[in-house]
């Protein structure tokens, strides 16, 4: 559910007019990272608009990479692997051919072996406007936001706040901002081994995303701020924890697992070469998650008002 009231209005209007027909088509209700059809096809779609989702720091190749990875990350969060992609691309005139070539290379590199099977191309009288749709396949039961139970451990992959550091000008973190690397083998591997009780990707930051996961599961959570995997280069910032939980764009995986699976989860991470951190645990109740002695920053907005993305 978007936080922008305008976007919520658009979504609610569309869902109201669409009626209940989707219920029999979908295996799980709307509201997860991707839609799952009754036949097991997993579908996700992201729109990318110049000046909204990227600024002048992004090359065409960065935009292509990021658009593909944002969609692949949604599939990963469901425990699915990408099987095909479609792309709509609207470009202003005169056509910037070198941007298109860079975009195409970044997009196909990120898609790796996922084939582009169709789409649409047209002109735009305004900004570049892109939309990609990806189809994926589950390898086992899907990972949903709604499966966390009291006592489960809370895990995140990679580092939190690297994209924030890149955005705020820390040179060593710039590539994390421009070229996110979601752990695309992790979601399917966790699902295949039934090591996960719930999960989603960290596109909006832990502060919003954990709150969503808890709301979907009907639970609360306690996070140990000292256990958050922060990049060393972030430590010069005035409030690295705020950057790590409030900014988003890391496209890491947030998931919960039973405490008795702690070693199996760690072992799996090591075998995949994905660093995993246990950052807290799920607790009963419905209040906002807690972050040690700090108030949980529920109201933090995605990129804030300064954001280009």
- For the segment 107-146, give every residue that binds a copy of itself (CB under 8 A): 107-108, 111, 113-127, 129, 131, 133, 135
154 binds a copy of itself (CB under 8 A): no
Put residue 207 in one of left, alpha, beta given phi > 0 → left and psi -120 to 50 → alpha: alpha
Residue 27 interacts with a copy of itself (CB under 8 A): yes or no: no
**Least distance (Å) from a copy of itself to the CB of residue 122?**
5
- Residues near 62 by beta carbon (within 8 Å), at least 6 away in sequence: 54, 106, 178, 179
55 interacts with a copy of itself by CB under 8 A: no
Using CB under 8 A, which residues numbered 65 to 94 contact a copy of itself?
Answer: 83-84, 86-91, 93-94
37 versus 264: smaller Cβ distance to a copy of itself: 37
Q: Within 239-268, which residues bind a copy of itself (CB under 8 A)?
A: none
Closest CA relative to residue 241, chosen from 253, 264, 223, 259: 223
Pairing of strands 198-201, 80-91: unpaired
Q: Where does this chain touch a copy of itself (CB under 8 A) — which range of 96-104, 185-193, 215-223, 231-239?
A: 96-104
In angstroms, rounded to a whole number, what is the distance separating the alpha carbons of residues 100 and 69?
18
Of 55, 101, 239, 270, the one binding a copy of itself by CB under 8 A: 101
Minimum CB separation from a copy of itself for residue 173, in Å?
A: 25
Measured CA to CA, the distance from residue 232 to residue 148 in angstroms comes to 30
Q: Nearest distance from residue 165's CB to a copy of itself, in Å?
A: 24
Query: Which candidate, 225, 249, 237, 250, places its Cα nearest to that of 308?
Result: 249
- CA dist 171 and 176 (Å) reads 10
Which of residues 3, 30, 169, 285 is near a copy of itself by CB under 8 A? 30
């Amino acid at each position: 559910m978007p936080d922008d009231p305008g976007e919520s209005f658009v979504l609610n209007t569309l869902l109201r007019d669409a009626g209940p027909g989707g219920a029999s088509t979908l295996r799980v209700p709307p509201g997860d990272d991707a839609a799952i059809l009754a036949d097991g096809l997993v579908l996700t779609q992201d729109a990318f608009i110049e000046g909204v989702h990227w600024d002048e720091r992004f090359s065409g190749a960065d935009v292509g990479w990021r658009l593909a990875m944002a969609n692949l990350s949604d599939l990963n969060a469901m425990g699915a692997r990408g099987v095909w992609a479609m792309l709509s691309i609207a470009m202003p005139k005169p056509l910037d051919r070198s941007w298109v070539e860079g975009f195409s290379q970044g997009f196909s590199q990120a898609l790796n072996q996922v084939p582009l099977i169709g789409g649409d191309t047209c002109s735009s009288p305004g900004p570049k406007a892109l939309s990609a749709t990806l189809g994926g396949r589950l390898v086992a039961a899907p990972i949903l936001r709604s499966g966390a139970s009291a006592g489960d451990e809370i895990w995140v992959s990679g580092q939190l706040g690297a994209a924030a550091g890149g955005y705020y000008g820390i040179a060593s973190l710039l590539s994390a901002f421009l070229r996110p690397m979601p752990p695309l083998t992790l979601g399917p591997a966790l699902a295949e081994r039934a090591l996960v009780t719930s999960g989603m990707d960290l596109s909006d930051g832990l502060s919003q995303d954990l709150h969503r996961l808890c709301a979907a599961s009907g639970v609360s959570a306690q996070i140990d701020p000292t256990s958050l995997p922060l990049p060393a280069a972030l430590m010069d910032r005035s409030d690295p924890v705020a950057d790590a939980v409030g900014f988003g764009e890391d496209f890491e995986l947030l998931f919960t697992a039973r405490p008795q699976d702690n070693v199996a989860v760690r072992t799996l991470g090591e075998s995949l070469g994905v660093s995993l951190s246990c950052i807290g645990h799920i607790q009963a109740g419905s209040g906002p998650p807690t972050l040690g002695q700090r108030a949980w920053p529920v109201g933090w907005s995605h990129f804030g008002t300064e954001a280009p993305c």
